């Protein structure tokens, strides 16, 4: 049993490694460009070269934003190309199952997406701090965001809230990627294959509508809260959060987790059973 | 000899179009089999089912006792009709990629074959000629010590001189005792190496026989093919 699970893990790691190698040929180049623009920013700032400084600020911001879009582009491009294009003849005949193929893509491109978001926040923070120190105005930066915790009564509450916030953000990014992958996989079944790009977009829009509607309904009718007490205590509350303390609504997060699991298995099933590589 | 591939009542449809209709046969281990039939006869669909690319079919398919899946894929070396290499891959990258996933891949042999085939190690696959890409894919397949080789039109689109070279490379590099199934229209080129043939037409199994039996009847495989697929089959 252990041998079999080690083999499965081994193949999965190989898939992730090769997906990273494939994406690492392009995405890091944009990070290199960002290093150059940030270097220009610092050079302009400390050598007092105002033109270089302005260009550094503008391009650092634009490149960090572009990186988010580039990562998103690769989420779609690599999945489409390596599984449903001619490269699918290679991917789908590897000695792995469709869940492993899908899981590898989600992990690889989920990480690139998260890195790009983190990078964007860091760059924004750097530029925000510079603008604040230079012009004396409070620009919203990551440090500024921390002021939202000012009213929290304890450090334990802040940590719990931060962990929850990060987990929810991870789940949201994963939801986004899995919903895209489901739409692309479904658009490649025989019935949708001819106009697959249009179908993929329509399916994704339908998924997004269902997602928003479900979240709204759930929040309205099924209250499920983690209530953070003034000290280190916390409790679960089903219903209106009337207890004293800070309520965190757990339902959207729980819904996202369940939805991600359902979409994952549905997508893997479609990839295995219904897709025909042409 | 045992049957390494067993197919019972295999039916595959695309909507109302039935491409394989109740096909049943078995293939003995260690043979070289020609999968023959005109265009649209169902050969590629059959190959896709055997290699695990198509999984929604009716009937029973067993590859070395397993349904097509991750386990069977680890013992099947498949050469598709199409180029499947990623744009970013060089010849070296492609070899390392395959070596990573298949324990039976012979890395040293592949590197030597690259030189024999005069293929550049560092050139990206997308900038290679079609002939170079086909040779590279052939190396990726024939450098595995697989139990089963399934080659879909391995000599399609190459000139007659290259065909002989490719065929001899396939035969020379095939491990002893392995099973090799080739689909092709170029029957004349391959009939000398075949042990048996399967003929498929309009999704039905029309004939399965050994080449020795066909020759004993005073015909070549090429003549038999023309005989079977003459007349109505061409309309």
- What is the C-alpha to C-alpha distance for residues A23 and A50, in angstroms, rounded to an integer? 36
Q: Does residue A95 sit at the B interface (CB-CB below 8 Å)?
A: yes
Written as six digits, the tokens of B95 are: 């070899």
| CB atoms A272 and B55 under 8 Å | yes
Q: Do A86 and B100 touch (CB under 8 A)?
A: no
CB-closest option in A14, A25, A88 to B88: A25
User: Measured between alpha carbons, how far is A107 from A98 in angstroms, rounded to an integer?
Assistant: 14
Exposure letters B150-177 (e unless 16+ CB within 10 A, then b): bbbbbbeebeeeebebbbebbeebbeee
B57 to chain A, closest Cα gap in Å: 9
User: Mind listing the pLDDT tens digit for each residue in B146-170?
Assistant: 999 999 998 877 778 788 888 988 9
- Max distance between CA atoms of chain B, in angstroms, equals 52
Average pLDDT over residues B34-38: 93
Contact A264, A227 (CB under 8 A): no
Determine contact, residues B42/B152, Cβ cutoff 8 Å. no
Tokens of B161: 């001189």
User: Distance (Å) from the C-alpha of residue A65 to the closest C-alpha of chain B?
Assistant: 25
Instruction: List chain A pLDDT tens, one digit each, 278 residues.
Output: 456 666 667 889 999 999 998 888 889 999 999 999 999 999 988 888 888 888 999 999 999 999 999 999 999 999 999 999 999 999 999 999 999 999 999 999 999 999 999 999 999 988 888 877 776 655 555 555 566 666 666 677 777 777 888 888 888 889 999 999 999 999 998 888 888 889 999 999 999 999 999 988 887 787 777 777 666 666 777 665 565 666 677 788 888 899 999 999 999 999 998 887 87
Residue of chain A minimizing CA distance to B69: A97
Q: Which residues of A touch B86 (CB under 8 A)?
A: 22, 81-82, 87, 90
Q: Is B216 exposed, middle or buried (0-12, 13-18, 19+ CB in 10 A)?
A: exposed
DSSP assignment of A218-258, as one string?
HHHH---EEEE-SSS-EEEESS---SSSEEEE-HHHHHHHH
| Contact assignment for B97 to A92 by CB distance below 8 Å | no
CB B51 within 8 A of CB B150: yes
> Looking at residue B127, what DSSP letter applies?
G
Record: contact B70-A96, CB cut-off 8 A: yes
pLDDT digits (tens, 9 = 90+) for A169-207: 888 889 999 999 999 999 998 888 888 889 999 999 999
Q: Where are the beta strands (DSSP E) in B2-75?
A: 3-14, 17-28, 32-36, 58-63
Interchain CB distance below 8 Å, A93 and B100: no
Q: Does B51 touch chain A (CB under 8 A)?
A: yes
Find chain B residues with C-beta within 8 A of A95's C-beta. 70-71, 73-74, 101-102
Q: What is the DSSP string of chain A?
A: -HHHHHHHHHHHHHHHHHHHHHHTTTHHHHHHHHHHHHHHHHHHHHTT-HHHHHHHHHHHHHHHHHHHHHHHHHHHHHHIIIIISTTHHHHTTSSS-HHHHHHHHHHHHHHHHHHHHHHHHHHHHHHHHHHHHHH------HHHHGGGGGG-S-HHHHHHHHHHHHHHHHHHHHHHHHHHHHHHHHHTBTTTGGGHHHHHHHHHHHHHHHHHHHHHHHHHH---EEEE-SSS-EEEESS---SSSEEEE-HHHHHHHHHHHHHHHHHHHIIIIIB---
Please tell me the pTM assigned to this model: 0.87
Nearest CB to A22 within list B48, B82, B88: B88
B2: its two tokens: 């045992």
Contact of B70 with chain A, judged by CB distance below 8 Å, is answered with yes
Cβ <8 Å between B101 and A94? yes
Kindly identify which residue of chain A lies nearest to residue B74, measuring between CA atoms: A95
Asked if A93 has any chain B CB less than 8 Å from its own CB, the reply is: yes
The SS3 assignment for B184 reads coil
- Whether the CB of A94 is below 8 Å from some CB of chain B: the reply is yes
Which pLDDT score is estimated for A227? Answer: 73
Is B104 within 8 Å of chain A by CB? no
- The interface residues of chain A toward chain B in range 257-276, judged by CB-CB distance below 8 A, are 272-274, 276
Q: How far apart are CA A76 and CA A184, in angstroms?
A: 8
Beta bridge partners, B179, equal B148
Under a CB-based contact definition with an 8 Å cutoff, are residues B79 and B22 in contact?
A: no
The pLDDT value recorded for residue A244 is 62
Distance CA A183, CA A271 (A): 11
- B92 contacts chain A (CB < 8 A): no
What digits encode the pLDDT tens for the residues B59-80?
A: 999 999 999 999 999 999 999 9
Report the C-alpha gap between A64 and B56 in whole angstroms. 44
Task: Give which of B227, B191, B185, B230 is closest to B211, Cα–Cα.
Answer: B191
């Amino acid at each position: 049993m252990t041998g079999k699970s080690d083999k499965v893990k081994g193949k999965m790691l190989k898939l992730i490694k090769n997906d990273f190698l494939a994406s690492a040929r392009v995405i890091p180049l944009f990070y290199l460009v960002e290093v150059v623009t940030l270097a220009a920013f610092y050079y302009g700032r400390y050598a007092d070269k105002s033109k270089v400084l302005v260009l550094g600020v503008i391009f650092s911001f634009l490149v960090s934003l572009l990186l988010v879009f580039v990562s998103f582009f690769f989420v779609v491009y690599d999945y489409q190309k390596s599984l449903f294009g001619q490269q699918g003849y290679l991917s789908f005949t590897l000695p792995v199952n469709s869940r492993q193929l899908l899981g590898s893509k989600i992990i690889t491109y989920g990480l690139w997406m998260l890195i790009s978001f983190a990078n964007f926040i860091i760059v924004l923070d750097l530029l925000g701090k510079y603008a604040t120190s230079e012009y004396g105005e409070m620009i919203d930066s990551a440090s500024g965001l921390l002021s939202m915790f000012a009213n929290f009564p304890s450090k334990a509450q802040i940590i719990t809230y931060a962990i929850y916030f990060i987990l929810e953000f991870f789940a949201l990014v994963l939801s986004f990627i899995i919903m895209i992958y489901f739409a692309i996989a479904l658009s490649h079944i025989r019935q949708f294959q001819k106009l697959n790009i249009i179908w993929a977009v329509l399916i994704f829009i339908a998924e997004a509508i269902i997602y928003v509607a479900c979240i709204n309904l759930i929040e309205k009718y099924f209250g499920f809260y983690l209530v953070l007490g003034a000290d280190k205590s916390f409790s679960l509350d089903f219903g209106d959060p009337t207890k004293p303390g800070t309520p965190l609504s757990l339902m959207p997060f729980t819904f996202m987790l369940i939805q991600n699991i359902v979409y994952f298995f549905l997508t893997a099933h479609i990839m295995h059973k219904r897709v025909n590589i042409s | 000899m045992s049957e390494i591939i067993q197919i019972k009542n295999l039916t595959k449809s695309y909507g109302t179009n039935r491409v394989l209709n109740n096909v049943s046969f078995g293939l003995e281990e260690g043979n070289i089999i020609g999968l023959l039939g005109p265009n649209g006869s169902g050969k590629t669909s059959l190959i896709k089912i055997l290699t695990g690319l198509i999984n929604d079919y009716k009937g029973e398919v067993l590859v070395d006792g397993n349904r097509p899946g991750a386990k069977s894929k680890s013992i099947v070396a498949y050469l598709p009709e199409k180029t499947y290499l990623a744009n970013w891959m060089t010849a070296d990258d492609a070899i390392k990629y395959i070596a990573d996933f298949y324990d039976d891949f012979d890395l040293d042999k592949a590197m030597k074959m690259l030189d024999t085939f005069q293929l550049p190690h560092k050139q990206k696959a997308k900038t290679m000629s079609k002939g170079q890409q086909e040779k590279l894919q052939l190396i990726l397949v024939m450098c595995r010590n697989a139990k089963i080789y399934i080659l879909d039109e391995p000599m399609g689109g190459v000139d007659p001189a290259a065909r002989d070279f490719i065929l001899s490379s396939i035969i020379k590099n095939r491990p002893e005792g392995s099973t090799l199934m080739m689909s092709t229209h170029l029957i004349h080129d391959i009939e000398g190496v075949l042990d048996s043939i399967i003929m498929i037409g309009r999704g039905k199994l029309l004939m399965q026989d050994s080449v020795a039996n066909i020759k004993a009847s005073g015909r070549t495989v090429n003549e038999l093919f023309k005989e079977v697929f003459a007349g109505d089959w061409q309309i």
